[in-house]
Amino acid sequence: MFFLLIVIYIAFIGLGVPDSLIGSAWPAIHTELNIPVEAVSVLTLLISGCTVLSSMFSAGILNKIGTAKVTAFSTALTAAALFGFSVAPSFWVMIPLAVILGLGAGAIDSGLNNYVALHCKASHMNFLHCFYGVGVSLSPYLMSQALSNVGWRGGYRYAFYVQLIISLLLILSLPLWKKSSSAEQEEEEKNVSLSLLQMAKMKSIRLVWIIMLVTNAIEYACGVWGSTYLVTEKGFQVAHGALALTVYYAGMSIGRFVSGLLSEKVSTWRRIGIGCAVLAPAIVLMLLPLPGYVAVIGLFLIGLGNGSIYPNMIHLTPHNFGKDVSQSVMGSQIAFAYIGVMLAPPAVSLISRFFGIKIYPILLALLYIIMVLSLKLFTNYLKKQGKYNPTV
């Protein structure tokens, strides 16, 4: 199991590699291909939208083929898409490549998260999402090196090499998955695939969809708009605003790492509660008319508190809904998480256009209130059903 966990951690690095690549490469791409800068929204929406679809409908394929084969194939699929981007002669060729990239990412995310939730301790789930952060941080570095030497196509080629190595490792590791215990194999054989309509009829699943959507909406609203808010409203220089965003992501990584360390002594539900408690003063700091450095502290605390909620909710899936349907529920949860990723940045953009960026902290506060209320309703419902276990 030890070596298999190493493989899964590396696979999550691969999951993160493509996610931040297009943002760092786009200034060079749109200039070379002579396309509007706004065209990047088409690609990002396609990638996120196809990730949503892939996550939503991944349960049937994962239950039939298995997590190992689907993960290996999907990682190879994302590698092929990255290579395609590196040689794409036009924007129109990038559109089907974005579809491929999104479809591959959704299957990897759903499969690995469910496997770890079923068979590993909560600490591994938190550390796993830290490794995703390694992948997200690696690709902008690779692209920056390429832009200084061989151009953006070289950056995509570098990312392709990383992804290719990871996909080959996953293929070579297939025998490790077969060595899993017979108990684990029996659990996988008992898996039941639920349709989207069946899940939508269940109040508990609808509530967890809202929670996952909102926690990711908070994450990406800060990641995309935090720097702009500091520059526009707090008078930061552009470089300092970007540096502050690094502080925010550091808070997120620290939050997940600390949550993993605490998992042996503090229950998962308690750690989710701690995350929500840290978010409250963070939002207040953002709302108050205080100096800019206080807002940076607020962003750091938002990352610290919110960062651990997503992986801990993922870990609780088999406990809350049952191991037999966990893959279906997991896929739907991740799909709604990506819906939050898709909707939050353009929603902030649209509302700010009418009311100004000064309304940004109020939007974060509203998202926080929705998340806390949904969590309260969800736990109350689980208690009524006898499924709430505060010691998990």
Tell whether the model's pLDDT for residue 336 goes beyond 60.
Answer: yes
- The answer to whether residues 44 and 134 belong to one domain is yes
Indicate which CATH number applies to the domain containing 330.
1.20.1250.20
The maximal CA–CA distance of the chain, rounded, in angstroms, is 61
pLDDT on residue 371: 96
- The answer to whether residues 141 and 200 belong to one domain is no
- The answer to whether residues 143 and 254 belong to one domain is no
Classify 237 as helix, strand or coil: coil
Residue 187 lies in a domain: no
Domain count along the chain: 2
Residue 146 lies in a domain: yes
**Looking at per-residue confidence, does 108 or 208 come out higher?**
208
pLDDT on residue 367: 95
- Signed CA dihedral, 42, 44, 46, 52: sign only: negative
Tally of residues, the chain? 392
pLDDT on residue 182: 43
- The answer to whether residues 325 and 290 belong to one domain is yes
- The answer to whether residues 239 and 370 belong to one domain is yes
Alpha-carbon gap, residue 338 to 53, rounded angstroms: 10
Section 99-109 average pLDDT: 86
Mean pLDDT of all residues in the chain? 85
* Cβ contact 212:310 at 8 Å: yes
How many other C-beta atoms are found inside a 10 Å radius of the C-beta of residue 377?
Answer: 16
Secondary structure letter of residue 185 according to DSSP: H
Alpha-carbon gap, residue 113 to 8, rounded angstroms: 10
Residue 120 lies in a domain: yes
The vertex-90 CA angle with 84 and 91, nearest 5°, equals 90
- The answer to whether residues 208 and 165 belong to one domain is no
Rounded to a whole number of angstroms, the distance between the first and last alpha carbons of the chain is: 22
Tell whether the model's pLDDT for residue 181 goes beyond 80.
Answer: no
Residue 190 lies in a domain: no
- The answer to whether residues 159 and 230 belong to one domain is no
pLDDT per residue as tens digits for the range 31-83: 898 888 777 778 888 888 888 888 888 777 877 888 888 888 989 999 999 99
pLDDT on residue 247: 82
Section 266-279 average pLDDT: 94
- The answer to whether residues 259 and 303 belong to one domain is yes
pLDDT band at 368 (very low <50, low <70, confident <90, very high): very high
Helix (H) or strand (E) holding 35: none
**Looking at per-residue confidence, does 252 or 304 come out higher?**
304
Range scoring the smallest mean pLDDT among 81-85, 175-179, 207-211, 369-373: 175-179
- The answer to whether residues 155 and 213 belong to one domain is no
* Boundary of a domain, candidates 155, 171, 187: 171
Residue 277 lies in a domain: yes
Q: What would the DSSP string read from start to end of 332-380?
A: HHHHHHHHHHHHHHHHHHHHHHHH-GGGHHHHHHHHHHHHHHHHHHHHH
Alpha-carbon gap, residue 177 to 238, rounded angstroms: 47
pLDDT on residue 281: 95
Residue 191 lies in a domain: no
- The answer to whether residues 163 and 208 belong to one domain is no
* Cβ contact 245:258 at 8 Å: no
- The answer to whether residues 111 and 222 belong to one domain is no
Tell whether the model's pLDDT for residue 189 goes beyond 60.
Answer: no
pLDDT on residue 190: 61
Two structure tokens written together for 299: 């962003």
Query: Half-sphere exposure of 274 toward its Cβ, with a 13 Å CA cutoff?
Result: 16
- The answer to whether residues 221 and 357 belong to one domain is yes
Classify 291 as helix, strand or coil: coil
Alpha-carbon gap, residue 151 to 85, rounded angstroms: 13
Question: Looking at the whole model, is its pTM more than 0.75?
Answer: yes
Residue 261 lies in a domain: yes
Instruction: Say what angle helices 67-87 and 152-172 make with each other, to 10 degrees.
Output: 160
pLDDT on residue 239: 65
Tell whether the model's pLDDT for residue 188 goes beyond 80.
Answer: no
pLDDT per residue as tens digits for the range 215-245: 999 988 887 778 778 888 888 876 677 677 7
Residue 178 lies in a domain: no
Alpha-carbon gap, residue 83 to 204, rounded angstroms: 41
**Domain enclosing residue 213, as ranges:** 196-384
Two structure tokens written together for 53: 């679809």
Two structure tokens written together for 204: 């508990």
